Structure 1
Amino acid sequence: MKALGIYREVQNSPNRESDDALVLKAVMDQLSILKTETSLMTPEDFDRVDVAGYDLIVPMCETYPRLMRLKKIEAETGVMVVNPSDSVLGCYRTRMLDSFARTPGLCYPPTEVRRTTAEANLRPPSFEAESGWWIKRGDVHNTTTCDVVFARNWKEVDAIRREFESREIKDMAVQRHTDGDLIKFYGVGPGQWFTWFYHDPSTARRLPFEIEDLAAQAEMAAAAVKVEIFGGDAIVTPEERIFVIDINSWPSFARVRTEASVQIARRLRLRRTASRKA
């Protein structure tokens, strides 16, 4: 089997460029042990070369033109791509929220998607938000600290909106702030492997929850956007409720890179073996 890994764009790896690269390299190293011939290339190299002849493509790249090229390659050659282009696009925030809304049982904070024009934001959302709102760019996940910004009141939202508009960001998500412990989770499958940790252990209140409830919510979110290698964020509230905030394709797995690389390589081999038997 021949596998190609494509690194993530530097601009899409804010403050974690090396972590993203290291986990992909670790997965390729594991695949090599599992009798797979592997190659790695930058997104810029991918733009220039013919990638015919691979049985498996493992892309961390996220820009729209590259995903469209990958989608065309998938359709024309039948090569297995994990995560597929449509699934990565499904993690773009507006698409993700639409998928969440169509997933029974999945819990996420009240959210409205709006255009970034002044006319679309004359009034606050219909839901109450006494503790404020998180204003998030509507396409990709944050590439700078200005992409997800907290607003204590509706007056502050206008400055955020104007900054988005100045960067030609067309849509934004307005999400109610939810009090609780912020958790980061990682998974493979869904259903093969799952782990979690506090985003900031020093400030976590360690509110009680059931890990199976967290795993179930995370895996529902992953299934909603059809990603197999995933990470995300969730809130555990004082009432022991769990709200998924985000899901994304191919996170850095920085704190658990060694274990994650083993689990991801195993998943990729299993998927490839199953496809050949089908």
Structure 2
Amino acid sequence: MHTYIIAGIRRDPRFSPQHEANDEAIFRLTAEALRARGCTVREYTEADLWADAVSADAVFGMARDPRSIRCLQRMEDGGLPVINSSYAIARCGREPMTRLLTEADLPHPRSLILPTADDPVPALASAAIDACWVKRADGHVVGAGDVTFAASREATREVFRRLSDGGIRTAVVNEHLTGDLVKFYGVAGTDFFYAFYPTATHHGKFGLEQVNGPARGIAYDADALRTTCHRAATVLGLRVYGGDCIVSDTDGLVRLIDFNDWPSFAPCREAAAPFIASCIIG
């Protein structure tokens, strides 16, 4: 009798800035939950993908290196189930994600996609954007300089110069939204959804969550947030997801500012892992 074999792909530490232990923990708990359901789980690194050393009936993983994504796409094209889809992971790059969420008319900050060699000030003025977030457009965050808060148009110009000098050709610019920062995690096709204030638990990367300050508890519609996140996950093709949103201090609306493939689930990983396992084998 054939035992169902699932390959688990660990995230390369380069793509877990300040969260390597958290990403490893959710990977381990997911593998344990799958084994508890009778699956054989073989654990691999992203480098194993590049060496064509992965063999299984299905794959779950947290890979983000472009080479890994291409390997997974070839496996997926051959009919192997992959969670999250490698094509969905690619859509979570800053530029495609921004385009897709905007085109789907999901609540989102005003955004621009601009060449870093250009002066961004005229485009910012035309869009009536002052303070903003500047993000490298070509992939996932790997370092502190990949996402920068710019308090003014002149500050944005300086960030563009730095990115251009560093070889980053394109940037995504999101207007800065004031209000409460809320982080969320979800697993599509299950009842699992978790939202919290990261400033209350000091959960974040590079201290950027402190820009909006401590959460004030601005009232928002939790069901609407869950529905919006499910819609965004569907647009991107994600099953295991997370992200960030702002509850506006002017109109109380919730707007998505980031959406990620397979985050750490750090404050809720023990609860999330069985749902992720069900999603993988479901």
Quick check: TM above 0.5? yes
> How many corresponding residue pairs?
265
Partner of 1:233: 244
Partner of 2:231: 220
Deviations 1:41-79 (A, max 9, x none): 111222224323x11101211111111111111112x11
Give the stretch that moved more between structures: 256-265 or 136-145.
136-145
- CA drift of 1:218 comes to 1.2
Deviations 1:166-218 (A, max 9, x none): 22212111111111100110000055321100020271100001110111111
Partner of 1:114: 114
Deviations 1:20-47 (A, max 9, x none): 1110111010000101000111112222
Deviations 1:91-136 (A, max 9, x none): 00100011112213x10000001111135x2514222235x11111
Q: C-alpha separation between the residues in 2 aligned to 1:139 and 1:241? A: 29
Identify if the C-alpha distance between structure 1 residues 190 and 152 changes in structure 2 by more than 3 Å, giving closer, same or farther: farther
Identify if the C-alpha distance between structure 1 residues 37 and 3 changes in structure 2 by more than 3 Å, giving closer, same or farther: same
1:30-109 paired onto structure 2 within 5 Å: 30-52=33-55, 54-76=56-78, 78-104=79-105, 106-109=106-109
- Could you state the TM-score of these two structures normalised by the residue count of structure 2? 0.90
Q: Which runs of 5+ in 1 are unaligned?
A: 271-278
Q: Secondary structure at the match of 1:98?
A: helix
Q: C-alpha separation between the residues in 2 aligned to 1:111 and 1:122? A: 14
Q: State the Cα RMSD in Å.
A: 1.5
- Could you state the TM-score of these two structures normalised by the residue count of structure 1? 0.91
1:1-278 paired onto structure 2 within 5 Å: 1-52=4-55, 54-76=56-78, 78-104=79-105, 106-118=106-118, 121-125=120-124, 126-130=126-130, 132-189=131-188, 192-201=191-200, 203-238=214-249, 239-270=251-282
Q: Secondary structure at the match of 1:146?
A: helix
- CA drift of 1:256 comes to 0.6
Q: Secondary structure at the match of 1:20?
A: helix
Preserved contact between residue 199 and residue 215 of structure 2 (Cα < 8 Å):
yes
Q: C-alpha separation between the residues in 2 aligned to 1:233 and 1:56? A: 29
Q: Which runs of 5+ in 2 are unaligned?
A: 202-213
Amino acid at match of 1:51: V
Preserved contact between residue 190 and residue 223 of structure 1 (Cα < 8 Å):
no
